[in-house]
Amino acid sequence: MVHTGGSETDFIELEDGTLLAVVRKEGPDGGFGSDIARSVHSRDALGLATWRLRPDERKFDSPCLFLDEHQPYLITRRQVAFAGRFDLGWPIVSPTTRTKLNQLVYWLTPKRTSVYRIDPETLATTWLADLPSAGDTAFAASVPLGSHRHLVFNYSSPLNRGWLPWLAGQLGRTHIYRTTISVLD
């Protein structure tokens, strides 16, 4: 088990046979934001992998992991406001109320589908770019094309909607978009 409180998750196998995972957390159990996790080669008494975790304040919704050469990348829905943080730290309310307030603010702010690089040793994530996207967006998929190119599919509200809040996007139409990305060294 990685932790308590996680939901949407993706994982990939790295060159050395360990697994890299991204797990979304919406609190209150298990915390807020995301965990970037990597399995270690040792196993517990039941033969299950153990994990090294790095919490991240940003909530990486609908994570999609892929490799370019041996470098891991993440495509995910990005919270544009508050430097991507999901938890706004409401200190004077109960954990349940804090979760509901965080969700409300999240619903009322714009999102983008974004690409991040993940350092497999430190588990740090670095934002690289936003893909064409607006409103309700993400749940991406990546198809390797070779020569550091990848075909990416994701859904999004119409792209001409600009800074449409996520909730408004949820109430409208979405389309599936494809984008070819090139990973530069």
- Domains of the chain from N-terminus onward: 6-182 (2.120.10.10)
What are the pLDDT digits (tens) for 140-156?
A: 999 999 999 999 999 99
Residue 52 CB coordination number (10 Å): 11
Q: What is the mean pLDDT of residues 31-59?
A: 83
User: For residue 158, which amino acid is it?
Assistant: P
Give the pLDDT band of residue 2 (cuts 50, 70, 90).
very low
Q: Give the predicted TM-score (pTM) of the model.
A: 0.91
Distances in Å between the Cα of 105 and the Cα atoms of 72, 79, 108, 166 are: 30, 10, 5, 10
Percent of the chain past pLDDT 70, that is, above it, reads 93
What are the pLDDT digits (tens) for 103-135?
A: 999 999 999 999 999 999 999 999 999 999 999
What are the pLDDT digits (tens) for 59-88?
A: 999 999 999 999 999 999 999 999 999 999
Residue identified by tokens 């934001």 is 33
Cα 157 from Cα 180, distance rounded (Å) = 19
Predicted confidence at residue 141, as pLDDT, reads 96
